[in-house]
A and B are shown apart, each in its own frame.
Chain A
């Protein structure tokens, strides 16, 4: 019985002489003398090609990163300062008041009042811009105007 194929008889048993003849001829043909150096050389070239491609890719990536960073920095420097609203916290108000007081124009109390007035003025400008930009239906949809404005001002802060 053939162990590989139980449904068929063992075929290898039928041709022992022929198998021996074929087996003996197995070493008659072999690779040519130049196949070994040809294969090794080609494999080395492929390896160097892969390395070259990797190196080029890393150099390209570094150049692209450098270019992007430089371009972004130049753009930031060239662009006019975006209108930002000073954050209405105590520290900034206090800082602005201290700067005004240091200039000697007024006392600390009046400097704080001036800083607060300036902040309010800038908030008013930004609020007017927001109202001009936002569509009127936002109120109809139930958004509170103050909530949206807060969001806007918050975005401007950021």
Chain B
């Protein structure tokens, strides 16, 4: 018997080698594999068995390493992704299939997916999709929508193995596998928690357990000295600069550490820095803090009730700010309308739920602080730290790691200031990863909304007027709330011609976690209202719901509700028309068939639009490229790839502009020391804005090469064996870069491309040119409802998207499928409640069994400003999904759901009211 096993070394086989190691008695296998054995391909997403990212094989069986006591695996065989890829040809084929199908986006769930699928394929070489779903049901993915993962596993057995290797030029329009995919499918990608050196100190944040509370700190130094291994404790007093951060000028309102009052549950008050052992064994129950709980406002209604306390000075009634658009004369429009429909809608807090919690590490080198972190916005992080640390730009360096999903929330500062402060104070390397709970408590969310909206039309279906009033719960701090307040009134019309329009949105402070950027910035919420009303209107008029939309769709030359007119590229009509075959077929099928067991089926349509880039504000990107003396072509690709594919898309654009195959470009990431600012990965701007910068960089570098040999613009450039060869009709010129002088960056030739989209300010009525381009989308959803249970199952999605020019159709599909899955979650199950759903088993996101087959229809209406006509896509992918699902539920049941998510309990209650037994 293993009596004092805690003191005996543990022995097991790991990826074919024998490991002999001392571990703590209660250690989780996941921590031992990652930190003691250095097997970083085992990912920790929840530490609770809820996400499956840590899946490993123990004696061949997939288990969650986070739930497995390390000591249990004594004399057992452990296999992880990196070992399987090395030792098992089946896994290698599977990994290649993942790469070829685009089944890995950010890559954080990929180890769990491939390890689980390897176990399945060993037993069943040719599984059905259902078997794949059962086998992978325990691994959550937030990026892909799962369908490409199912395809990848099902088709692994097919010979020959799919070849992800890049052949041909791979320029824009080519559905090439992502250029950074191999690292993701083989376990080599390094994310925020994978990069710290083994001896780094650890950091743990002390957070408010109350939504709203005053506090006083006691004898922290005395407390800390009683705990071995504590190096220091940081509080607001340790901040050399300004104890505030934020993202919008004028709204920098969030303290790094609260000073005497916490405004939301999970707000930081202190950070404890110590050895790994000290932090792992830390019991915070004795931390010297005295709390006085205060009344909290968790909704705008509560925050605006008489007597509610104000969260921030200067914000009467807790109003953070508002946005407003007025076009034509709304009240006159309603007066003249034949038919009016109106309703109120509400949507919930939605958590980003990327599988990678916020993580990173910091060190001080040569008097500079370097922060390694998963981020969507390295330069914004840097600027935020300058204020907090009171350091000049030259003394801060952000080194982005792989990002395991972002969706907007990793734009804001999270771990960065704590790590930087700790490294500066201790002089040591310091790391931290948020637990799932603190990630959910403290990171930004999608704004809950309450919307009141009204639409009026003529008898023939022509839209006459719309009024929209939205109140958005922005939480305790502003974050990107002002962006939401501004964007919503611009977008709430949907992609339709509405001559008389008045829309107002207001952000209200509450004692909730900050609501910020989340894929769509408020537009998914407003689309729920507007697209639901269009169906109600069509029904009231007795019109076909698709025809009504097409009749009113925006077109080239027709003004938006901001009075903006696009001469080209308005693709919403084409998107809607692309749904017509499925719409007609589904409606005929519904009429013809009755479903067994009392199930009800319905089909619904939703449409959407989204302006790419910042709203009427400068939004530049710079992309730089150079040729080295040995002829290597280097692209400084600062448009952070959070899984959406900018590493690939930007490279394809650059390669086409320069005129060489995409495979011959070497990428350098977004290190702020080496790569210029390509702006934040947000607002569907990278393909559009950074893509333009990349095109300009490619064209600029190409010009330099051609000028050097006086070649014509049509000449071919090729890079071969240290030569730059220029073939101009029948003449060939060789440039030998080794013979050229190098510049301070080490390049013999270099070029920068800069692009800032042309927008114009909005006037007091919101009239102007807020965006240089919009992208357009329309989705069709088929939903089956079990009326006795109130459950809804989405069984088909058709998604038509106008992307201008599909730079990479495979990645376009990936964005759409992932967006659909998030829209489905928002519609049917996602609802965050502070203090009540702070984990991934009480907060539900769709699993592999919840996302139906998705048929993508790519529409290409070239944009006047996009690179090769391309438009952004990231946000557009989810905006129409929830409305389409709601409309399908209404179609199936006759019941209009206006409160999201449509949980079984909510739908069943409405169905009972409507007389369903």
Do A and B come from the same complex?
A: no
